[in-house]
Amino acid sequence: MNKKYTYVWVSLIVLIFGIIVVPRIVERLSSGSVVENDRLNVSGEKSSDKLGYILLDGKRRKVPAFEFINQDSVVVSDEDYLGKVYVVDFFFTRCPSICPVMTTNLVDVQKYFKEADDFAIASFSITPEFDTPQVLRNYKEKYQIQDKNWNLMTGDHDDIYELANAGFNIFAAEMPDVPGGFEHSGLFALVDKEGYLRSRIDDFGNPIVYYRGAILEEKGVNDHGETEEIGILKIDIQKLLEE
């Protein structure tokens, strides 16, 4: 082939790579949505077979320190969860929409891992002014929460919102115009025994980061066509328990 045309083709390939691939890499790096499996998975094994570490600024993202009061007026901190695999959610007892579904799903997960002493759940109320320990105890009884490692927590308003929005990047905000007066995502975060945020990797090497908690497993798909993720959450909890 004529060298002139060879150079043209090479230049064209480089240009296409720069237009399509590089921006995607930059976007993932800038958003922090890169997992360690992206760098370490060189064995030919599918990246989705293992859970990745969520990275932020090149470092494994860890649950920030927290300390709140649970339904029994006992102080609970992040250190109490070390050595346990646990699921995190943000809710409020008067929630008229997604919280009942989220709690129902977590009760199902609780039953599924009832024999696992190293599994736990951490639920944080985004209306701590109303959700006192007594209110949380009533909520616990209503949903037949039995796991001793499941804490329903309340405390300082600003600290809880800081933990939700900055610590976990799980949206929570006061919005008077929505049902219940508060808006929050129905997402669950998964944490390993060392306190690191973990996630399964999709077929494209990207972390799903969080798990949809507001769709019943038995329902399968919601009205928006989104698939439930409680089934895969159970699988991924088991993977972490076996690490």
Range of the domain at 171: 52-242
pLDDT tens for 147-158 read 899 999 999 999
Strand residues in the chain grouped as ranges (E): 34-35, 51-56, 59-60, 67-69, 75-77, 85-91, 119-125, 150-153, 172-174, 182-184, 187-191, 197-200, 211-212
In a domain, 146, yes or no: yes
Does a structural domain hold residue 184?
yes
Kindly report whether the global pTM for this prediction surpasses the value 0.75: yes
Does residue 95 have a known ligand-binding role?
yes
The string of pLDDT tens digits covering residues 4-59 is: 444 444 344 444 444 444 444 344 434 444 444 433 332 223 444 789 999 888 88
Is 33 inside any structural domain? no
Helix or strand or coil: residue 122?
strand
**Residue in the structure block whose two tokens are 């609780």:** 110
Is 224 annotated to bind a ligand? Reply is no
Task: Identify whether 186 is part of a domain.
Answer: yes
The number of beta carbons lying within 10 Å of the beta carbon of residue 214 is 21
Q: At 95, which CATH number?
A: 3.40.30.10
Asked if the structure places residue 161 within a domain, the reply is: yes
Q: How many domains does the chain have?
A: 1
Residue 155 lies in a domain: yes
Domain-located, residue 44: no
Two tokens at 38?
Answer: 């992206």
Residue 231 lies in a domain: yes
- Is 99 annotated as ligand-binding? yes
